[in-house]
Amino acid sequence: MKRIVIGVSGASGTIYAVDLLKKLHQVPDVETHLIMSAWAKKNLELEADLSLADLTALADVVHNNHDLGATVASGSFLTSGMVIVPASMKTISGIANAYDDSLITRAADVTIKEKRRLIIVPRETPLSEIHLENLLKLARVGAQIIPPIPAFYNHPQTIQDLVDHQSMKIMDSFGIEHHFGHRWEGD
């Protein structure tokens, strides 16, 4: 069984977290541990047609972002890795500088120190030099940066098509088999 920590921070783009959780919820050999910041909860309210209770029901375990004593805050708690989707620049900065003031940043720090897969889905534009330096710092320690940049070779027709492609990339990175999204098949 794969155990994946999913951090949702306060950037716009909650749709990506919702979609990923819905898709992972359908995979029987994946256990999800959800952590949401206060602003992630507010963005869910503003951006999605899903209640907090409905979203948390998609996760196997839900952790309080203020609980630095949670299981996912320890390297002895085995996971397959962590994804932060969407990742705000504040959260990225905290992780890049090992400033563990929340469970999201602490769990990411643990993921890095234990050399487990860490996926960052940054949601900001334009990116400043500081943003880029923090992302580069994380990439240098092994984090995979998967920004929500749409692909058009698959001729998306809906917003859901674009979101599916992002979830496909994240699940591919974790080696989770799935049958959605359109892949490049050559010309």
Residues 20 and 55 sit within 8 Å (Cβ to Cβ): no
- With respect to residue 53, please indicate whether it lies within any of the assigned structural domains: yes
What are the φ and ψ backbone dihedral angles of 162, each rounded to 5 degrees? -70, -40
First to last CA, the chain: 37
Comparing 143 with 186, the larger pLDDT belongs to 143
- In this structure, how many other beta carbons lie within 10 angstroms of the beta carbon of residue 30? 18
The whole-number pLDDT of residue 44 equals: 97
* Nearest-angstrom CA–CA distance, 123 and 146: 10
Asked, for residue 79, whether it belongs to a domain, the answer is yes
Q: Is residue 43 part of a domain?
A: yes
Q: Is 65 helix (H, G, I), strand (E, B) or coil?
A: coil
How large is the C-alpha radius of gyration of the chain? 16
pTM for the whole thing? Answer: 0.95
**Banded pLDDT at 179 (limits 50, 70, 90):** confident
pLDDT tens-digit map of 123-176: 999 999 999 999 999 999 999 999 999 989 889 999 999 999 999 999 999 999
- Pick 186 or 160 by higher pLDDT: 160
Distance CA 89, CA 95 (A): 10
17-31, 63-77, 102-116, 167-181: segment of lowest average pLDDT: 167-181
Looking at residue 102, its pLDDT comes to: 98
62 in any annotated domain: yes
Q: Does residue 116 fall inside a structural domain?
A: yes
Domain that holds residue 117: 2-149
DSSP 3: E
Phi-psi region of 140 (alpha: psi -120 to 50; beta: other; left: phi over 0): alpha
Enter the DSSP assignment of 77: S
Which residues partner with 5 through β-bridges?
33, 82
For 23-65, write each residue's pLDDT tens digit.
999 999 999 999 999 999 999 999 999 999 999 999 999 999 9
What CATH number corresponds to the domain at position 142? 3.40.50.1950
Name the helix (H) or strand (E) containing 16: helix 14-25
Which stretches does DSSP call E strand in 60-167?
61-64, 81-87, 117-122, 144-145
Domains held by the chain: number: 1
Residue 113 in any domain: the answer is yes
- Specify if 38 maps to a domain: yes
